[in-house]
Chain A
């Protein structure tokens, strides 16, 4: 196939070149990686009992099961889309009142890159209802949380890593102590929800199942659509 030179190599004006460079030079934000790993349950924070079968089944696989709203998109062609509503943890942090429905592709041919619907496809989806997200009871980060530097976030992740290390080495009491330290150091932290989930896990493992259950139920009441909710449900099962 005849491949023309990229416009950038053939720009006809400086304005054009600057616009093209703006398009190619875009980078993810400083804390996008930490946020993404946390959302995947891969940050130090979230690898709660790694024994669970990864995020594939424990965090995400069951995600749709108990959720208030499941948005079905029809008419997208051969690959049936079964989107699942969820709220990313940081959305809960930063936009607690916004609509948080999201569609993710769920079905595709095995063992091949799925043929998803390109933006060009005239896919019409029903308007998602606004997610009924209650104001989180856990202390939220301040409004300027987005300005937090990556290193500050890294320190926060490190503090939760310390708690997780205790937990995975079979010392839930030590983990609870570390979590107390975390809460004192980061009362408005980015990862307070992750910390709460780990605390529930640690409480359960330390034998305080009654307290763990109560906190898990409270978490689910406040954050029913959190990506962490399915894991919390796992503690109740």
Chain B
């Protein structure tokens, strides 16, 4: 197991320029403080983003808090490798990884939940039935869970996080053309499923 090495030079690069030189002992305190401040800032700034990505990537509602913590703990371990300005992108990739893993470990529970799900979509849904936010969320979960995983990821990042196709390509390490074609297919698939829900 590799030890996480707290690299002074990496932190130093993360600091604003022009910081006065400090003796090593004080510098170590500053480093800790800066780490903590940065982490706190990341939590405050991105906790909703992380929770939303996790949820839309398939983490069950009851597991989101746990997965949010996992994501930030992973981020904390790697903080020195996160370029200033790349925090959101790093958290996004970590959250997608965590969500993918969580899907495996809770698969059984989710199957049970699906069996117990009271929603019958035989009858056409009306907008009134969906104004209940909880219900809308359940139906969205259902639609997303039926989508192909690759398409779903691109879909939620584009439609919910409003990432550009270039940003999605970077985050997923796939060619931009692939993002474009997945998005096209995902939108068409999503619309078909929603039309079926609404009985249109």
Contacts and interface: CB of A to CB of B under 8 A. Distances in A.
Interface in A172-205: none
Contact of A113 (B5, B83, B180): B83
Nearest to B184: A4
28 contacts: A1-B166, A2-B180, A4-B187, A7-B159, A15-B130, A16-B198, A27-B51, A27-B52, A28-B52, A32-B51, A32-B64, A32-B65, A32-B68, A42-B36, A57-B4, A59-B76, A61-B5, A84-B1, A103-B97, A104-B73, A108-B81, A113-B83, A114-B81, A115-B93, A116-B97, A117-B97, A118-B173, A120-B150
Contacts of B81: 108-112, 114
A100 B4 CA distance: 22
B4 A15 contact: no
A102 B65 contact: no
Contacts of A99: 105
A19 B144 CA distance: 10
A102 B101 contact: yes
A55 B74 CA distance: 11
B40 interface: yes
A107 interface: yes
Contacts of A140: none
Interface residues of A, number: 82
Given A51-B32, A60-B73, 5 more contacts: A1-B164, A60-B4, A88-B66, A102-B70, A128-B105
Given A1-B166, A26-B137, A39 B72 contact: yes
Nearest to B100: A119
Interface size class of B (residues with CB under 8 A): 35 or more
A7 B187 contact: yes
A114 B93 contact: yes
Interface string B38-66: 01100110011011100111100000111
B155 to A, nearest CB: 9
Interface in A33-65: 33, 35-37, 39-40, 42, 47, 50-57, 59-62, 64-65
Contacts of A120: 149-150, 153, 172
Interface string A96-138: 0001011111111111111111111101010010000000000
Q: Is the interface of B mostly helix, strand, loop or mixed?
A: helix
A131 B140 CA distance: 32
Contacts of A6: 158-159, 162
Which 7 residue pairs of A and B lie closest in terms of their CB atoms, listed nearest first?
A61-B4, A28-B51, A119-B100, A64-B1, A104-B74, A14-B127, A120-B150
Given A16-B194, A118-B153, A119-B99, A86 B6 contact: no
Nearest to A66: B1
A113 B93 contact: yes
A1 B78 contact: no
Given A26-B56, A39-B73, A118-B173, A19 B143 contact: yes
A28 B48 contact: yes
A24 interface: yes
B77 A19 contact: no
Given A22-B136, A55-B76, A27 B70 contact: no
A106 B73 contact: no
Given A8-B159, A15-B130, A24-B160, A88 B69 contact: yes
A116 B96 CA distance: 8
A13 B200 contact: yes
A90 interface: yes
B82 A113 contact: yes
